[in-house]
Structure 1
Amino acid sequence: MSFIDDDRPQKKTAHEVGADLSMLSVDELKARVELLKAEIARLEAEAARKASGRQAAESFFRT
């Protein structure tokens, strides 16, 4: 078992809004863009799911 990698700092994979981007490589920036696109898609899907549930409830109680 090797302990060499245990001392290395772990790269942060999440993106923090407003974080300094000057020290990131092009590949790291692209990875963050993809991460954020996936998160936007997840948020939009959840918003759509909740909106359809609300519409169903409103139409049920109108009748």
Structure 2
Amino acid sequence: MAFELDDLDPRQKKSQPRNLDVMNVEDLEEYVTVLKAELERVEAKIKAKRSHAAAAASLFKK
């Protein structure tokens, strides 16, 4: 069975950073707001996953 070289590529490609030089101040401020909201979303997901992992660990320790 042969394999494709495409199978070796990561499933999710990392996005390239935005070019901030072409953005005006208002666009930059809006971008900061979007990034802060995304950071809050990611931190909430981390907290939920840690809580889930801790609950599973305590269940299996009994």
Count the aligned residue pairs.
Answer: 48
Distance 2:53 2:60 in 1: 11
Structure 1's consecutive aligned runs of 4 or more residues displaced over 6 angstroms after TM superposition are none
Structure 2: gaps of 5 or more residues: 1-14
Secondary structure in 2 matching 1:22:
helix
Distance 1:28 1:43 in 2: 22
RMSD, aligned α-carbons: 1.2
- For residues 19-48 of structure 1, the C-alpha deviation after alignment (integer angstroms, 9 at most, x for no partner) is 211111100000000000000000000010
Identity among equivalent positions (%) equals 35
* TM-score normalised by structure 2 residue count: 0.71
Distance 1:46 1:28 in 2: 27
Distance 1:30 1:41 in 2: 17
Structure 1: gaps of 5 or more residues: 1-15
Distance 1:54 1:29 in 2: 37
Distance 1:42 1:17 in 2: 20
Within 5 Å, give how 1:1-63 maps onto structure 2: 17-63=16-62
Question: Which structure carries more helix by proportion?
Answer: 2
The one-letter amino acid paired with 2:28 is L
